[in-house]
Amino acid sequence: MTQEEAFGNKGTEKPLRPSQWRMDFRKSLPGNRTQSVTETSTPPILGKQHEQSAEARRMRPQASGRLICGPNTIDVEITPIWKLLIKEVLNPFYIFQLFSVCLWFSEDYKEYAVAIIIMSIISIALTVYDLREQSVKLHHLVESHNSITVSVCGKNAGIQELESRFLVPGDLLILTGNKVQMPCDAILIDGSCVVDEGMLTGESIPVTKTPLLKTDSSVPWKLQSEVDYKRHILFCGTEVIQAKAASSGPGTVRAVVLQTGFNTAKGDLVRSILYPKPMNFKLYRDAIRFLLCLVGTATIGMIYTLCVYVLSGESPEEVVKKALDVVTIAVPPALPAALTTGIIYAQRRLKKRGIFCISPQRINVCGQLNLVCFDKTGTLTRDGLDLWGVVPCDRNGFQEVHSFASGKALPWGPLCAAMASCHSLILLNGTIQGDPLDLKMFEATTWEMAISGDDFHIKGVPAHAMVVKPCKTASQVPVEGIAILHQFPFSSALQRMTVIVQEMGGDRLAFMKGAPERVAGFCHPETVPTSFVSELQIYTTQGFRVIALAYKKLETDHHTTALTREKVESDLIFLGLLILENRLKEETKPVLEELISARIRTVMITGDNLQTAVTVARKSGMVSESQKVILIEANETTGSSSASISWKLVEEKKHAVYGNQDNYINIREEVSDNGREGSYHFALSGKSFHVITQHFSSLLPKALKMAHVGISLSEQEASVASPFTSKTPNIECVPHLIKEGRAALVTSFCMFKYMALYSMIQYVGVLLLYWETNSLSNYQFLFQDLAITTLIGVTMNLNGAHPKLVPFRPAGRLISPPLLLSVILNILLSLAMHIVGFVLVQKQPWYSTELYSACTVQNQSISKLNVSPTAPEKVGSNGAFTSFENTTIWFLGTINCIIVALIFSKGKPFRQPTYTNHIFVLVLIIQLCVCIFILFADIPELYKSLDEAIIENRALWLAIKRCFGYQSKSQYRIWQRNLANDSSWPPLNQISYSDMPGCGRGVSYSNPVFESNEEQL
């Protein structure tokens, strides 16, 4: 029997009864667990060999099960640094950088090569550090669940203690005590549990789990439950806050292991973090294509270089170096680092706003967002609910609203009893915990909650039951308290919850709480007021959350567990409406208005009443007063009728309340001429959306399957799966993230265009000089690469995001007509400038091909930047020699790089204006001033002035030495300082003899240089 057959996962297979799961699953495995840990434990006195054999005996029966299902562990190893390092170093960009650095070292271009090495090391170190930190964080997140001791009920050995890693599907767990971490997914079959699922959902609200019904039905177990089957599953990674045995069961809380390891809910979460869906972002695809274009351009330049230098009779080594040089010029090795700086700066600005990112590449994706989906409760509205009032009813209809703001207690009656007992609250360590709605409702009654003790003896009420009692100050309450016997928990599918209670000294009752329409359907029609629909709409249209309450009396002859939900939830008496107010957060409306003004669509997702959701949408500004809201209702195929969809205007009461309309209604028949595109919104339930996706998929041609960007407002463990986490629990982070995303995206485009233009400017200039077998010198390259481009690349990205969202997005593609046209026109302009300069300098009257040094004739300002021999011999490993063409091309290229940086540094509408980037502007000014200075300054005169003012200024250097306390280390100066500090020197009025101490013949100091010179003389 397979695992799927044992658990009834196949609709055609007959599932096993819960009592058979353990036994029949073990029949498919050779062997059985017949010994407990205590029985196989060997005293230390028996020695290590006996301990190992005992451990082997204990592990042998489990081996076959583990071979089938694997160990129950979620192993996330901490990736070694050397692995991360190798993976990062083998990146194609770094390999290309290594090739470029080796080439530059061979050409004695050491300065820029060292700079690239330093930048690459820093980039690799930061990347490896981030990856290592994420690996450690994820490892610590899962390791605690791999070593938990659990109680397992064996077939023959009874209850035994077992390490969680040995669990396999089919094991029967015994849950005891509180605060238990679940090491696997398990189906609850006996007892009930209260679980904190914050690790998976991000919401630390206790959830009640109920046992799976024991039936002989052949329907798979997931379909047997009338509510969501997840109500019976204890998920791995969640915490069992409270385990309570059933009064009529075996006296223990039991659950059958369903999934282990990475097949669990937590394993699926970890797997999604380890192997996220790759981003299909056009920018990165276009970047690769653009780089391939640059490689193609470099190939053309290589062929041109080979032809020129081979025909010139250059050595093969020189030809190869020059050809490879063209590749490093056309494809700049610093391009990846330059593109990353914009994202790094944006990430740093987001961090200052309390927004943390674990996937920096998604910041660029944020710049293309045009749709944002919000949860309602806790996101758009406040976390807590305020109890506004209650509307009781009797046979005459609804009574006057009882407001809790007045401080007046609710009179005793079934309605008060329902508010005090119809909830899923628990008492943990003296604190009442549970759903905020239940908590507000219970607190309004001013009752108290307690757990019955062992001495609690009331017929039909088990020991340790939850009991609610009126406070001591309460009066006119005829009962001592109410004991909660059984719960049918709330389900979003059923939209209701029911409890069975026992009044102390009174009747046994059933209370129901849920959506008004659903609760009214279970009540006697005569108990539901005729004004029910209009009364309900009064409050829902104001944005209130409305809950209906109902009750009935039960016979005390039947045990509570013998009563089915269908029997309990029938023939109820309607009690009234509970009105709760869920107020908007102060930040919600301004943020939504900002997004809507920027033409970013906003969508609300909620489990509340649709009318309440529409009202909240109008109050928040998501739907303006002039816009129509259309309610879409879709129905599944039933019998001979096919699936249908109807369209109803929410504002029209006859459509919102009554509705026997035709299955198919044209929108134009429902909406006036003003109700065209952009003036209406759709409201639909999850069920209707599911039907539409199944049968009307043409209405959803571009349905969103997965969000490109997720933002978590919670700091629970589940937030690790979200690319962004905000420490501020409101939606103010959304526009900030979109602004920074747009700024980072535009910055990436600017840097890509600038780096492409910079490489093409150098490429064109060098190819022109290659025509005369000339080239730029290493220091000319260094000035352009390091002093110009590197500084611009670091400072150009410092522009912050523009404070206002504009109603359009930046271009999402690098290979788009406007961007390509901009780059191509600038390349053609640079080519024309270089060619004109190259030709014009040769037409000047002072131009001479015999005098190769332009600096020695007209202007000697470049004599130090270029090598300055007057002979036309080549100098340096790169074959550069001074010439008029060399000087002209270098100046044109350098100034062009500065101008292009200013042109491509975009400000509004996505980034702050360029003049606000003070560092960038200052860098451009300094660079331009240096270029102009080099162009016009008289370098020899400057050196002469500096020599007189600084180098030969003896007084200045003596002052500097005294300031820093510098002392000469010559032997003469040392003796001079020692004698100056010796108070007994010179020895006046004394006679010294040769035989006196200290006056003996010693070795005298001699200056070997002086003596050798003296001998020569």
Q: Where are the alpha helices (DSSP H) in 555-609?
A: 565-568, 588-597
**What stretches of 680-786 adopt beta strand conformation (E)?**
680-684, 711-712, 724-726
Q: How far is the C-alpha of 232 from the C-alpha of 185, rounded, in Å?
A: 10
CB 324 within 8 A of CB 690: no
DSSP classification of residue 948:
I
Distances (CA, A) of 994 to 120, 987, 991, 999, 1002: 71, 15, 10, 5, 11
pLDDT at 303: 92
SS (H, E, C) 376-397: HHHHHECCCCEEEEEEEEECCE
Handedness of CA 553, 555, 560, 565 (dihedral sign): negative
pLDDT beneath 50, residues of the chain = 1-60, 652-677, 851-877, 1014-1017
- Backbone φ and ψ for 518, nearest 5 degrees, come out as -70, -45
pLDDT at 897: 92
Q: Is residue 170 left, alpha or beta, with left meaning phi > 0 and alpha meaning psi from -120 to 50?
A: left
- Using DSSP's 3-state secondary structure scheme, residue 237 falls into coil
Q: How far is the C-alpha of 688 from the C-alpha of 646, rounded, in Å?
A: 10
- Using DSSP's 3-state secondary structure scheme, residue 561 falls into helix
Q: Residue 511 corresponds to which tokens in the numbers above?
A: 């209370």
Q: How far is the C-alpha of 694 from the C-alpha of 636, rounded, in Å?
A: 9
Q: How far is the C-alpha of 895 from the C-alpha of 888, rounded, in Å?
A: 11
Q: Residue 63 corresponds to which tokens in the numbers above?
A: 């081996």
The residues, any chain, with a CB within 8 Å of residue 825's CB and separated by 6 or more, are none
pLDDT at 49: 37
The residues, any chain, with a CB within 8 Å of residue 484's CB and separated by 6 or more, are 421, 465, 466, 467, 468, 499, 500, 501
* Structure-derived torsion over alpha carbons of residues 743, 747, 753, 757, reported in degrees to the nearest 10: 140
Burial 305-317 (b: 16+ CB within 10 A, else e): beebbeeeebeee
CB 115 within 8 A of CB 786: yes
Count the helices and strands in the chain (H runs, E runs): 34, 30
Distances (CA, A) of 913 to 190, 482, 906, 907: 67, 68, 7, 4
HSE value, Cβ hemisphere, 13 Å, CA-based, for 766? 29
pLDDT at 893: 92
Q: Which of 554, 548, 549 is nearest to 567 (CA)?
A: 554
Side chain identity at residue 243, one-letter code: A
Residue 150 bridge partners (DSSP): 162
CB 268 within 8 A of CB 262: yes
Handedness of CA 324, 327, 330, 332 (dihedral sign): negative
Tell me the chain's radius of gyration from C-alpha atoms.
Answer: 41
SS (H, E, C) 988-1003: CCCCCCCCCCCCCCCC
Task: Compute how many other C-beta atoms are within 10 angstroms of the C-beta atom of residue 344.
Answer: 16
Task: Compute how many other C-beta atoms are within 10 angstroms of the C-beta atom of residue 17.
Answer: 12
Q: How far is the C-alpha of 852 from the C-alpha of 887, rounded, in Å?
A: 11
Catalytic residue list = 375
Side chain identity at residue 962, one-letter code: R
CB 7 within 8 A of CB 221: yes
Q: How far is the C-alpha of 52 from the C-alpha of 307, rounded, in Å?
A: 77
Q: What is the DSSP secondary-structure string of 209-224? A: E-PPP-----S-HHHH
Q: Which of 298, 319, 323, 294 is nearest to 309 (CA)?
A: 319
- Backbone φ and ψ for 994, nearest 5 degrees, come out as -70, -25
Distances (CA, A) of 150 to 254, 266, 427, 901, 951: 12, 18, 25, 65, 82
Mean pLDDT for all residues in the chain:
76
- Using DSSP's 3-state secondary structure scheme, residue 857 falls into coil
Distances (CA, A) of 501 to 460, 527, 543, 570, 691: 10, 21, 32, 16, 39
Q: For residue range 328-344, what is the model confidence (pLDDT) as tens digits?
A: 888 887 777 777 778 88
- Using DSSP's 3-state secondary structure scheme, residue 208 falls into strand
Q: How far is the C-alpha of 142 from the C-alpha of 794, rounded, in Å?
A: 39
Q: How far is the C-alpha of 828 from the C-alpha of 814, rounded, in Å?
A: 19
Q: How far is the C-alpha of 135 from the C-alpha of 119, rounded, in Å?
A: 24
Q: For residue range 174-202, what is the model confidence (pLDDT) as tens digits?
A: 887 777 888 888 888 888 888 887 777 76
pLDDT at 913: 92
Whole-model pTM: value is 0.73
- Using DSSP's 3-state secondary structure scheme, residue 577 falls into strand
Q: How far is the C-alpha of 126 from the C-alpha of 363, rounded, in Å?
A: 18
Q: How far is the C-alpha of 142 from the C-alpha of 132, rounded, in Å?
A: 16
Q: What is the DSSP secondary-structure string of 608-658? A: S-HHHHHHHHHHHTSS-TTSEEEEEEEE--BTTBPPEEEEEETT-HHHHT-
Q: Residue 655 corresponds to which tokens in the numbers above?
A: 């459509």
CB 294 within 8 A of CB 76: no
Q: For residue range 312-330, what is the model confidence (pLDDT) as tens digits?
A: 888 888 888 888 888 888 8
Q: For residue range 887-937, what is the model confidence (pLDDT) as tens digits?
A: 889 999 999 999 999 988 888 899 999 999 999 999 999 999 999 888 887
Helix axis angle, 733-770 to 884-904, nearest 10°:
170
